[in-house]
Amino acid sequence: MNRYKRLQRCVAWLALPLGILAIVALWRPDVLRSDYVDVPSPSLGAQEERPAIWASSVDEDFRFYALSSTLYRSALPQASDVAELKERGINTVINFYQESDEAWLAGSTMHRIHIPLRADRVTDTDVIAVLRAIREGERHGGVLVHCKHGQNRTGLITAMYRIVYDDWTREEAMAEMLEGGFGVAERMDDAVGYMNRVDVEAVKSAMAEGECSTNPLAWCRLIGWFSSEKIEAVATSGLLQDRPIAESL
């Protein structure tokens, strides 16, 4: 009977974190909805030259641009583009599109990272994970980031890279994102919505401290918290105290 009561207490104690996880799964409080879309005015005049520090065009056919010697961006490449990517020293491909890169990278030795994103609900959790993946990839050579059209999702991520790693201002990063030749600015409203609302300093702080998100209720944080709390609950509930060692293993 005592064991049964201890089990009841353990289950009741776990009900709260389980309930929180269920709510978050439905609500996703770390999502920064792009309902605040205020597209900034163009930063360049009609006759003004493109800034040299902006990403440089490599191949217009699939919006292939170089942000640096180790980071590139593009729309969805084709198998015929693999040779060009290899010539640039690209060893890692990070894909934000829902479909995998298997079709065009079949047989390639490039390291593939698939992080599907939806432009209208990108979270700081997503951004932090991607930025860390890019940085890790750069330690092993060039990195290509891409989605389907090379606009919204790719533009958002590279803008955040500029801010976090290149120390650009939000305005500078958005100017390149919208006026860099990556597509029509009006089709980047989701990226603009995120860029307008994201707490840049909070993202930088979370990355510096090794956190997975800026939001205490982000899914990744709750999963980690729940896992550690569950282990502690079982260990302190007394469920294993009066069981033979062989039975407990």
Angle value at C-alpha 80, between 74 and 86, nearest 5 degrees: 70
Active-site pick, 30, 126, 147, 190 = 147
Catalytic residue among 120, 166, 189, 220: 120
| Tokens 């290899």 belong to residue | 86
CA dihedral defined by 223, 197, 158, 182, rounded to 10 degrees?
130
Q: Could you tell me if 122 and 194 are in contact, meaning their C-beta atoms sit under 8 angstroms apart?
A: yes
DSSP-derived secondary structure for 173-194: HHHHHHHSSSS-GGGGHHHHHH
Helix locations, the chain, DSSP H = 2-27, 82-87, 102-105, 124-138, 152-165, 170-179, 189-197, 200-208, 219-236, 245-248
Beta-carbon contacts of residue 190 (< 8 Å; ≥ 6 apart): 34, 119, 120, 122, 152, 156
Q: Is 184 exposed, middle or buried (0-12, 13-18, 19+ CB in 10 A)?
A: exposed
Please say if 120 is a catalytic residue: yes
Mind telling me the catalytic residues?
Answer: 120, 147
